[in-house]
Amino acid sequence: MDLNRRSLLGAAGLVLAGGGTTVASQMNGNDSISPDDVSLTEQEARDIATGEVGGTVLEVELESENGTPAYEVEIETDNGSVSEAAVHANTGSVLGVEQEDEEDEDEQERSVSPDDVSLTEQEARDVATGEVGGAVLEVELESENGTPVYEVEIETDDGTVSEVAVHANNGTVLGVEQEDEEEGDDGYEDDS
């Protein structure tokens, strides 16, 4: 009887220690979960989410939502809106569906039509090469946090590659990023 009691207490201690590790990892902001620790596969979560929302899956992440393992499935619907379905990673139940709002979309980089901006691509190239001399490798027109920006990638004479962000309406240089340098909050070095 004494041996069974010790075994039971030892097992309880292991369970508590494991729970403590989980709590500690969540307190440290580590909400990652291994696919080996859940019952559902990513494909099963995709199928459940698209059955609920309908559309094309853009991204799937396995996360802990308030201690509950969940697949976050981002889906572009047939009308072009983006929704996120949370699927319980063990039971397969849909925990909720959220439609992405305008704030979330503004934070993402989106393409912009050249018809919607004042500067031409050639003018952006000229501004960028005036800031950083060299050969233009690529030019992209995007919206970053609601601001139309030409991102001009330039290879300098010494072989380094820089990206110059040019405001697509007023031609202001918003920043210069070199390939090997650390990025700031907006992804560009402060050029002041």
Please name each of the domains of the chain with its CATH number.
Answer: 30-100 (3.10.450.40), 110-178 (3.10.450.40)
- Assess whether pLDDT exceeds 70 at residue 13: no
Separation between Cα atoms, residue 131 and residue 166, nearest integer Å: 10
DSSP string for residues in 35-56:
GGGSSS-HHHHHHHHHHHS-SE
Q: What pTM, to 2 d.p., does this model score?
A: 0.40
Q: What is the pLDDT of residues 47-80, one digit of tens each?
A: 999 998 888 999 999 988 778 899 999 998 877 8
pLDDT digits 0-9 by tens, 135-144: 999 999 988 8
**Phi, psi (degrees; rounded to nearest 5) at 113:** -80, 140
- Of 86, 154, 146, residue with least CA distance to 116: 146
Q: What ranges in the chain are assigned the alpha helix state H?
A: 2-27, 42-52, 102-107, 121-131
